[in-house]
Amino acid sequence: MSRQTKTFLLERFREMGIRPATRHGQNFLIDLNLHRLIVDSAELTEQDVVLEVGTGTGAITALVAERAGAVVTVEIDGHLFELASEMLLDRPNVRMLNLDALKNKNRFNPAVRDAVGEALGAAPGRRLKLVANLPYNIATPVLSNLLAWEYTPHSMVATIQKELADRIVARPWSKDYGALSVWMQCQADVEIVRIMAPSVFWPAPKVDSAIVRIVVDPARRAAVPDLHFFHDFTKAIFLHRRKFLRANVVSALKQVLEKSEVDEILGIMGFADDARTEQLDVSTLLRLTELVRARAPQWTLS
């Protein structure tokens, strides 16, 4: 396996007559120690099926394949797919897909679902993990959708924009705390493994990046009675996070509940008039959501 250095990439791209595609968010990690850190952080075993979104040249794919039972790797760019195919010829446990991993911003491509399902079913006791240098432009939907997928991941280790990483690990009252923070933390332990400067990528992005590790907690996940409802409701009330909580809840539920009914719910929760959505921790949001769901089970995010 060739080592993905800047020199290697420049040479191969020159040979193929191609350039990194901005529209696909292509920034290649050229620090080989960070390749190893990403794979080490995933703690892979033979029972793991790894989903990688963004094969690139196959450098991380090859490292993952040495440890995991199976790898499903997805690359949208045909030129990179061709290049990675050459690099991964001797990896029989790797299945490569040349397509867009996402059907739309809320759903994975059915071909990805089928490939992952087949790999998980190939041996008893297999579990799904994401290991990926995620393109910035799809990092949020990939991480969010995996937690709502029919194949719940055991963990996710990914390189993403630092700004997004800060939102994932943010706590109440902080400027980065929002619906994404709640969605991740209601189901998983989240941590930033390493902050990375632009210089460890080629081409260098304009912002810092981070390696995040997200490990799903089955008990915490099971404690959310209706994940879909909770996800949509928290998104709705964080839409205008600087407004007072009452205004956000009234706005979200205006089609199904009167203001007086909202006030009754907020009164049961004991919120002050000046309470704001951004101050509510996950457990408080869960209690609020269940009171709302009991009154308006038919509510959906419009």
> Per the domain annotation, does 301 fall within a domain?
no
Looking at the structure, do residues 119 and 36 belong to the same domain, yes or no? Answer: yes
- Which CA distances in Å does 93 have to 56, 65, 96, 278, 287? 18, 7, 10, 45, 44
The domain boundary, picked from 155, 190, 219, lies at: 219
Q: 194: which strand partners?
A: 211
Looking at the structure, do residues 37 and 103 belong to the same domain, yes or no? Answer: yes
Looking at the structure, do residues 192 and 237 belong to the same domain, yes or no? Answer: no
Mean pLDDT taken over the chain:
94
Average pLDDT over residues 30-39: 95
Looking at the structure, do residues 28 and 151 belong to the same domain, yes or no? Answer: yes
CB within 8 A of 235, min separation 6: which ones?
179, 301
> Per the domain annotation, does 275 fall within a domain?
yes
pLDDT digits (tens, 9 = 90+) for 227-261: 999 999 999 999 987 789 999 999 999 999 999 99
Question: Domain of 269: which CATH number?
Answer: 1.10.8.100
Q: Quick check: pTM over 0.85?
A: yes
Looking at the structure, do residues 181 and 279 belong to the same domain, yes or no? Answer: no
Residue 130: other Cβ atoms inside 10 A: 20
3-class state of residue 28 by DSSP: strand
> Per the domain annotation, does 300 fall within a domain?
no
CB within 8 A of 62, min separation 6: which ones?
1, 87, 88, 91
pLDDT-based confidence at residue 22 (cuts at 50, 70, 90): low
> Per the domain annotation, does 302 fall within a domain?
no
3-class state of residue 269 by DSSP: helix
pLDDT digits (tens, 9 = 90+) for 1-16: 456 778 887 887 888 7
Quote the number of domains for the chain: 2
Torsion angle in degrees (nearest 10) through CA of 140, 179, 286, 150? -20
Question: What is the sign of the dihedral through the CA atoms of 43, 72, 89 and 55?
Answer: negative
The domain boundary, picked from 171, 200, 219, lies at: 219
pLDDT digits (tens, 9 = 90+) for 59-77: 999 999 999 999 999 999 9
Looking at the structure, do residues 70 and 114 belong to the same domain, yes or no? Answer: yes
Extended beta strands in 42-137, E state: 48-53, 70-74, 94-97, 102-104, 107-108, 127-133
- The counts of H helices and E strands in the chain are 13, 11
Domain interval for residue 239: 227-295
Q: 109: which strand partners?
A: none
Looking at the structure, do residues 289 and 210 belong to the same domain, yes or no? Answer: no
b vs e for 230-255, b when ≥16 Cβ sit within 10 Å of the residue's Cβ? bbbbbbbbbeeeeebbbebbbebbee
Looking at the structure, do residues 72 and 163 belong to the same domain, yes or no? Answer: yes
pLDDT digits (tens, 9 = 90+) for 203-227: 899 999 999 999 999 999 999 999 9
The domain boundary, picked from 181, 203, 219, lies at: 219
